[in-house]
């Protein structure tokens, strides 16, 4: 430590409009020495006497505390407000953190590495050539100014270097082959967290609430929680991509029939229906003039990716396989639901019904009715797939008769377990990455509001 104190004082406090960010107010004749030390530790100047530390990993209180130690070592006096002291002492972790086996210190190391990548991109030390969404998160290819091309994976506090590559040209060619039409030039648009962090670095005030409402944000969710999408466009795409299916429109123009060239597989689409009414009926027949062997119905509010999977399976199998179907047995039930079991869906038995229900906040499930399965021509559905609400009052539903091919059901349950879709979230209720504090913590100070880009719950 220095032999004498530098005439400078730094007062640290929480950011008034961005909860996790930290401000430093500098005073004294030699406050520029404190300013230089803080700049080396991520603080950025807002004006001559004010600096802000705003990070994408919400670890500002921790790093601000580390900065006070560096100032003390140089003889600069510091003050930490009670609000910030509470934030420093607060123990929290990210809810649903994917690397749940890491300790809190290790989580901080991962987040700090992501922060470094973010800063390198922001300051131009890492040039991003292209980005894409791989169905789960953002991926990108970039090159450091001092050499070295890297593949990046993830967003915000989870962004990491996935691979180090030989050259930009080879990396881009491989990236294009892997992600195809999803590739976009340059860096990805700023995430919500990045936008809020940038706002915190430039102002101590909240964004102007009088401006026009923001457009709804589109988030990626499990396919069963997605918006319905455009079923009309799906029908047109299906007919365009499958030349062995012919289109027929009824005289009233209310219904379109897609019929396989074998005349044993048929899909009926009703154009004008309510959201909970049936607008798709798929069926297989013994022969062009024979009896119906199995069928499925789909309501209009069903997410389009789920219907796309159903049609795709119908079109990819042979007409004979799809028409014959599968007699219900323990083996076919196991095959049909294996993707749900692998994904950890909750399995329950309630009398004649067996159910598999999705984990998480969004309701969805699959129900098997053992009673309905006993008769091939049962008027009751043997299989019910639903989303939202409960099985008897769902937001959307699919119903399948006995003898529905196990391959159809298995592809469908795989889509439910692994598939992704899109859902619009109104700007006023946009969801944020959740944080959880440990139960032993004392209640938060009334002066510390929930973070703008996260929620902390006790």
Instruction: Give the rounded percent of residues in the chain with a pLDDT score beyond 70.
Output: 87
> Is the torsion defined by CA of 294, 300, 306, 308 positive or negative?
positive
Say yes or no to pLDDT of 446 above 60.
no
pTM of model > 0.75 = no
The position carrying tokens 């809020």 is: 196
Alpha-carbon distance 338 to 344, whole Å?
A: 10
The per-residue pLDDT for range 199-226, each reduced to its tens digit, is: 888 888 766 544 555 566 788 899 999 9
Domain residue extents for the chain: 225-424
For position 220, what pLDDT does the model report? 87
Displacement of CA 414 from its chain's centroid (Å): 18
Alpha-carbon distance 299 to 275, whole Å?
A: 7
Among the residue ranges 317-321, 372-376, 454-458, the one predicted with the least confidence is: 454-458
The per-residue pLDDT for range 265-310, each reduced to its tens digit, is: 999 999 888 778 899 999 999 888 888 889 999 999 999 999 999 9
As a dihedral over the C-alpha atoms of residue 390, residue 394, residue 400, residue 402, rounded to 10 degrees, the angle is: 30
383-388 long-range contacts, Cβ below 8 Å, gap at least 24?
Answer: 383/336, 383/409, 385/306, 385/412, 385/416, 387/224, 387/225, 387/302, 387/303, 387/362, 387/363, 388/225, 388/362, 388/363, 388/364
The per-residue pLDDT for range 146-188, each reduced to its tens digit, is: 888 999 999 999 999 999 988 888 888 899 889 988 888 888 8
The per-residue pLDDT for range 382-393, each reduced to its tens digit, is: 999 999 988 888
Kindly state the DSSP code that residue 125 receives in the 8-state scheme: S
Alpha-carbon distance 442 to 224, whole Å?
A: 38
For position 21, what pLDDT does the model report? 92
Tokens of 197: 């962090």
Alpha-carbon distance 275 to 256, whole Å?
A: 18
Residue 226's alpha-carbon distances to 45, 237, 361, 363, 395, in angstroms, are 42, 19, 13, 12, 11
3-state secondary structure of 145: coil
For position 382, what pLDDT does the model report? 94
Alpha-carbon distance 330 to 333, whole Å?
A: 5
Contact assessment for residue 24 and residue 51, using Cβ atoms and an 8 Å cutoff? yes
């Amino acid at each position: 430590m220095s032999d004498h104190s530098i005439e400078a004082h730094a007062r640290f406090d929480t950011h008034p409009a961005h909860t996790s960010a930290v401000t430093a107010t500098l005073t004294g004749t030699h406050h520029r020495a404190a300013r230089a030390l803080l700049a080396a530790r991520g603080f950025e100047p807002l004006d001559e006497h004010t600096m802000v530390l705003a990070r994408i990993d919400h670890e500002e209180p921790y790093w601000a505390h580390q900065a006070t130690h560096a100032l003390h070592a140089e003889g600069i006096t510091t003050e930490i407000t009670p609000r910030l002291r509470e934030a420093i002492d607060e123990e929290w972790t990210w809810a649903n953190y994917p690397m749940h086996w890491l300790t809190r210190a290790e989580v901080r190391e991962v987040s700090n590495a992501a922060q470094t990548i973010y800063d390198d991109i922001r300051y131009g030390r890492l040039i991003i050539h292209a980005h894409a969404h791989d169905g789960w998160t953002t991926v990108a290819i970039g090159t450091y100014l001092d050499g070295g091309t890297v593949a990046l994976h993830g967003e915000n506090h989870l962004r990491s270097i996935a691979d180090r590559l030989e050259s930009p040209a080879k990396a881009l060619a491989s990236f294009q082959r892997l992600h195809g039409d999803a590739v976009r030039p340059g860096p990805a648009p700023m995430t919500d967290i990045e936008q809020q962090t940038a706002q915190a670095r430039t102002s101590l005030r909240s964004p102007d609430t009088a401006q026009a409402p923001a457009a709804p944000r589109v988030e990626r969710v499990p396919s069963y929680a997605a918006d319905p999408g455009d079923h009309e466009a799906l029908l047109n795409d299906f007919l365009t991509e499958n030349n062995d299916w012919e289109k027929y429109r009824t005289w009233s123009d209310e219904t379109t029939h897609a019929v396989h060239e074998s005349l044993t597989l048929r899909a009926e689409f009703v154009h004008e229906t309510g959201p909970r009414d049936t607008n798709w009926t798929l069926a297989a027949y013994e022969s062009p003039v024979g009896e119906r062997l199995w069928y499925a119905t789909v309501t209009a509010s069903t997410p389009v990716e789920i219907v796309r999977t159903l049609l795709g399976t119908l079109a990819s199998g042979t007409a004979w396989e799809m028409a014959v179907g599968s007699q219900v047995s323990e083996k076919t039930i196991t095959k049909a639901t294996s993707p749900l079991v692998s994904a950890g869906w909750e399995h329950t038995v309630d009398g004649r019904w067996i159910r598999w229900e999705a984990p998480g906040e969004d309701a969805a499930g699959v129900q098997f009715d053992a009673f309905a399965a006993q008769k091939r021509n049962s008027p009751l559905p043997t299989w019910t797939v639903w989303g939202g609400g409960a099985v008897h009052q769902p937001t959307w539903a699919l119903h399948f008769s006995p003898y529905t091919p196990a391959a159809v059901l298995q592809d469908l349950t795989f889509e439910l377990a692994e598939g992704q879709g899109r859902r619009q979230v109104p700007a006023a209720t946009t969801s944020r990455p959740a944080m959880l504090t440990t139960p032993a913590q004392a209640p938060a100070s009334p002066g510390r509001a929930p973070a703008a880009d996260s929620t902390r719950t006790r």
